[in-house]
Amino acid sequence: MTLLTGRAVTKQYGRTAALAEADVEVAAGEILAVTGPSGSGKSTLLLCLSGIVTPDSGEVWFAGARLDDRGEAARAVLRRTEIGVLLQHGQLVPELTAVENVALPLLLGGATRGSAARSAEQWLDRFGVAGEAAKRPGELSGGQQQRVALARALVTGPRLLFADEPTGSLDSVAGESVLAALVSAAKDNATAVLLITHDATVAAYADREVHLRDGRVLSGVTA
């Protein structure tokens, strides 16, 4: 079953065509790797498909409903219910503790602090950073920060996780262990993943791979 469809998605920044009529499909529970050189439009694709940025033209469908023409508020709500987003770095609120950061989507959704904190702690535990729950992001290593960010992306039990080079700023050992945690959690919860990377070893974790160049989708290789 198809969970996410992008049809002829186009995004222009000034004169740069960041994304030119890209077509992408993600099936439920599938891990799709999007590869391509730097500047090829991978991040732009993720932002358009996840509803963070509105494409100039084209359509994005999520779970059978049009996503790109919904209002900002509706898309924000989707981000804290059915979609998780994990970026390279810098998405944790520096002033909040790790557990508060993970609890954030639940709190914004109206959960009480107690129940949100309990769910958050479970996810921190699952990713091996339960001991850092009370620390702020600045006190954590890059690998720990990404684990916390991953916990936050998954705390709401989303159907689809967008990950933009989640290990790009980590060394290979730390990167690999974060990636392994991501993949196993996604498989356990039947969460589909759109995984952006320029690293072939990372792409090897995926079920399928799509290659981007100059904002265009070149190939859909099945692993």
Partner 1 sequence: MRFTTLVRLAYPGSLTDRVRIAITIVGALLAGLSVLAIGTVLNMAPTERRITLPDGGWSLDPYSWRYTSTLLNESGLRPGLIAMVAATIIPALVLLAQAARLGGPARDHRLATLRLAGATPRQARTIAAASQAFTVAIGGVLAAATYPLVKWLLHHPTMDGVRITAAQADGGPETHPYTGLLLPLPTDTWPAWWSWVVVIVVLPLVAGLISMAGLRRLIKSPVEASRRARRERPRIWPVWLVAAGLADMSACRAWIDALDRAGQSGDRLIAPYVLLVVGIAVICVGVPLSAATVAYLGAKITLRYAHRPAPLIAARRVLADPYAGSRAVSALLVCAVVFGALIGIRTQMDFDLEVQALYGQTIGDRELYELVMNMLSALSVIFIGFAAVGLLIALVDAAMTRRRTEAALLAAGTSTRVLVNARMIGVFLVAVPGVLLGLATGFASPSLASGPQHAPAAVETVCHDLGNSELIVPCTEAGVAQQKKADRDGGNNPAYSWVEYHSKGPWHAVHAPIPWARLGLAGGVDLLAIALVTILSLLVGRRSPAETALRTT
Ligand X SMILES: Nc1ncnc2c1ncn2[C@@H]1O[C@H](COP(=O)(O)OP(=O)(O)O)[C@@H](O)[C@H]1O
Site residues (vs partner 1, CB under 8 A) = 47, 52-54, 72-73, 76-81, 85, 87, 90-96, 100, 104-105, 107-113, 141-143, 152, 169-171, 174
36 binds, among partner 1, Mg ion, ligand X, none (CB under 5 to 8 A by kind): ligand X
Instruction: Give 99's contacts (C-beta < 8 A, 6+ positions apart).
Output: 117, 120, 121, 124, 133, 134
Contacts to ligand X by CB under 6 A: 13, 16, 18, 36, 38-44
Closer to partner 1 by CB, 162 or 205: give it.
162
Residue spans of beta strands (DSSP E) within the chain: 2-13, 16-27, 31-35, 57-62, 65-66, 83-86, 160-164, 192-196, 208-213, 216-222
Is residue 167 a contact residue for Mg ion (CB under 5 A)?
no
User: Of partner 1, Mg ion, ligand X, none, which one does residue 110 interact with (CB within 5 to 8 Å by kind)?
Assistant: partner 1
Q: Of 23-31, 35-43, 50-58, 123-131, which segment contacts Mg ion by CB under 5 A? A: 35-43
Beta-sheet strands, E only, within 67-186: 83-86, 160-164
Shortest gap between Cβ of 100 and partner 1 (angstroms)? 7
Q: Cβ contacts of residue 151 below 8 Å, gap of 6+?
A: 102, 120, 123, 124, 126, 127, 129
**CB-based contacts of 177: which residues, under 8 Å, 6+ apart?**
143
By beta-carbon proximity to partner 1, the closer residue of 1 and 73 is 73
User: C-beta of 59: minimal distance to partner 1 in Å?
Assistant: 19
- Work out what residue 18 binds among Mg ion, ligand X, partner 1, none; the CB cut-off runs from 5 to 8 Å by kind: ligand X
- Residue closer to Mg ion, measured from CB, 16 or 189: 16
Q: Give the nearest distance from C-beta 4 to Mg ion in angstroms.
A: 19
- Report the alpha-carbon distance of residue 157 to residue 140 in Å, rounded: 24
d(CA 211, CA 221): 8
CB of 215 to ligand X, least distance (A): 7
Q: Which is nearer to ligand X, 22 or 185 (CB)?
A: 22
Between 107 and 183, name the residue whose CB sits nearer to partner 1. Answer: 107
Q: Which residues contact 7 (CB under 8 A, 6 or more apart)?
A: 23, 58, 59, 60, 61
Q: Residue 39: name its binding partner from partner 1, ligand X, Mg ion, none (Cβ under 5 to 8 Å by kind).
A: ligand X
Residue 112 sits at φ, ψ, to 5 deg, of: -75, 160
Q: Are strands 83-86 and 160-164 parallel, antiparallel or unpaired?
A: parallel
Residues lying near Mg ion in the complex (CB under 5 A): 43
